[in-house]
Chain A
């Protein structure tokens, strides 16, 4: 997908003013946040599971080449083939080679964020191959020619009226208005596509090294259909998705659906190992896996390595107050929300993504809910640090911060500057409650007032009162100057009351 993160702020502003999107985002928050909490409450203890999940992922990343080569060997032993793609171009080249080798004209595709990343649909389309997305959300996006706005609920930004319009426009059928009717219509339209497809393309939520299996979780059944009916199945996913054993993946599966949609388990979990066996009555004749790097290996061995633990649950964006207010399209690439502001600069480059890691208050809600304990705010800060060291942020910002730091390091200069500033601000406020316009402070006052300050700094006032205290220790009636003996008496009194 083409990176379009440079106009993050204007897209965010547009989305903030879009009532239909705002309603959709409220719905998302209400459903997913509550559902996740309820589902996790069913587990006797979440913290040990999170620790174990983080350990499994961290351990795998520490030994990634070992597990990937083990995976490759097992796939080969079961009759499948593994391809390695260093970047998006390689992914598409490999995919087209496979398609050509098997005379593929029609593809049925189940959801894969990696294929969005690599613009697979465009590459196939350009080669004259017909691709239909079969995940209902992705299918709707395909009709609308829009990118996903959430990694788990890709069409969260659309309401049913908009979807009904799209169907009416594309299906040559009378416009349905009920949600079950819309779903039934999609089923009827897409069923023949599954049956007619030569090749099924899927992602893989996990790759299991021990058995050479691709694991796919879905609710709709389209994942199973894409990987069972066509004669060729290609699973495309990132190199970081490998997991050592079946038991490891079972542990992770306790957290993934709960964190994502609040389900204790997704409707279907498919563990696919190789092509159909001798005697099997259904299944693909050919099983291929494309392992995608596309920048991931670059994070290994760096402070950003924890980002590769991500299991794509979407909990971070569901809980992120920024995402909750602006939606996914503002982030300008495949991955929105907290995981997106880390992954996008990491994979798609630091320039063109300057705003992303800065668009956070570091509230920490994301890190709280990440099932594999990725320290997302720390990673955002690490990216900000790289930006700073690479002088990638605006001169105004760098100057402003340099001045602030220089003054903060010089107490006397700081005292003088703040004395002046406090007085100036007080004068600007006059008799009013707050300041409406701040020269040089437009960023603040564009959207809010600045409450009027005291006019004197604490430093100056404290120095004054402290001097007064020293000069007249017994006569001071200020509530803040308590003499040492009175202090002790007061405290003992309170001690007695509360024993």
Chain B
């Protein structure tokens, strides 16, 4: 497949991609945001990170607070209005914008602008493969990866082959398929807290499959899934299985992310934990 350059003759400037880092990445794992940034720049995009971004509104939406969701959607619309694309390292946040924002604004005056935002919004791997046509990545890895298909990305956005295609370009990364890669990990936002017992069991089911297929690393495209799975693994006494976001693996930004996991940002960051 020919790589179509983003820089087309009709549009001499590189396309502006607004990076929506997501609230979880911002708070818990900034390096996922930086990995996404690096990948997008490698793909030739000019990446902007609107400083006022906060949350896409999904927690409010899924709890039934429609008003708060709309307010946050309007805010996001404004922040990303100067971008050709909006890209998020999260299927659920991208899905919220792409699939659910239009529903929130049906019959409302902002409907057209919201629709326009929605069609420009992508999950990271989907963007890299299908829009930017990125075909090589800086990442190097060593280990056996089980890829978990986060539900929103899979079912709302059709993210299935894209991460696998990209992982195939990472030397040293062996992909092993779970028996049920598409079954929910049990995070589900507030579900993880409200229905903890069921959520934990669903995580155990997924982690058992990871062990059974001989993988030493779980990779997914949504930090919610990853924090939940990693949290459950550590609680069950598994300190060895690595749990990584796909952006980290593709960008090669897994230093300091040894089997112990953890995430310390410092200029001298190396494997700081045992």
User: Residues of A at under 8 Å CB distance from B?
Assistant: 9, 12-13, 16, 321-322, 325-326, 355, 358-365, 367-368, 381, 384-389, 393, 397, 401-402, 404-405, 407-409, 411, 414, 418, 421-422, 425-426, 429, 431, 433-434, 436, 443-444, 446-459, 461-463, 466, 479-480, 482, 487-488, 490-492, 494-495, 497-499
Residues of B within 8 A of A411 (CB): 51-54
B200 touches A458 (CB 8 A): no
Residues of B within 8 A of A360 (CB): 188, 191
5 A-B pairs with least C-beta separation: A361-B188, A388-B64, A443-B193, A448-B231, A363-B184
Candidates A434, A461, A488; contact of B234 at CB < 8 Å: A434
Given the interface pairs A405-B72, A454-B263, the reply to whether A461 lies near B30 with Cβ below 8 Å is: yes
**Residue in chain A with minimal CB distance to B136:** A494
Q: Which residues of chain B from 1 to 41 have any CB-CB distance to chain A below 8 Å in the complex? A: 1-3, 5-7, 14, 21, 23, 25-31, 33-34, 37-38, 41
B161 sits at the interface (CB 8 A): no
Interface size on B, residues (CB 8 A): 90
- Residue pairs across A and B with Cβ atoms less than 8 A apart, 22 shown, are A12-B197, A359-B191, A361-B188, A363-B151, A363-B183, A364-B155, A365-B155, A365-B182, A381-B64, A385-B65, A385-B66, A408-B72, A433-B261, A433-B262, A448-B203, A453-B263, A461-B34, A462-B49, A491-B6, A491-B44, A497-B136, A498-B135
Residues of A within 8 A of B129 (CB): none
Nearest chain B CB to A170 CB, angstrom units: 34
- Measured in the bound complex, the distance between the Cα atoms of B51 and A443 in whole Å is 31
B55-63, B109-117, B212-220: which one contacts chain A? B55-63
B199 sits at the interface (CB 8 A): yes
Nearest chain B CB to A366 CB, angstrom units: 11
- Measured in the bound complex, the distance between the Cα atoms of B188 and A363 in whole Å is 7
Q: Which residues of chain B from 131 to 190 have any CB-CB distance to chain A below 8 Å in the complex? A: 134-136, 138, 151-152, 155-156, 182-184, 186-190
Residues of A within 8 A of B199 (CB): 361, 447
Candidates A359, A405, A433, A459; contact of B60 at CB < 8 Å: A405
**Residue in chain A with minimal CB distance to B197:** A13
A386 touches B64 (CB 8 A): yes
Residues of A within 8 A of B25 (CB): 458
Residues of A within 8 A of B187 (CB): 361
B64 touches A9 (CB 8 A): no
Given the interface pairs A388-B65, A463-B51, the reply to whether A361 lies near B184 with Cβ below 8 Å is: yes
Residues 194-229 of B, flagged 1 when their CB comes within 8 A of A and 0 if not, give: 111111111101000000000000000000000110
A434 touches B230 (CB 8 A): yes
Nearest chain A CB to B37 CB, angstrom units: 6
B38 touches A479 (CB 8 A): yes
Given the interface pairs A411-B51, A454-B29, A494-B136, the reply to whether A325 lies near B5 with Cβ below 8 Å is: no
Residue from the set B54, B152, B230, B264 with the largest chain A CB neighbour count within 10 Å:
B54
Residues 63-89 of B, flagged 1 when their CB comes within 8 A of A and 0 if not, give: 111101001100100000000000000
A405 touches B68 (CB 8 A): yes
Residues of B within 8 A of A381 (CB): 61-62, 64
Residues of A within 8 A of B253 (CB): 479
Nearest chain B CB to A408 CB, angstrom units: 4
B195 touches A9 (CB 8 A): yes
A322 touches B59 (CB 8 A): no
B34 touches A446 (CB 8 A): no
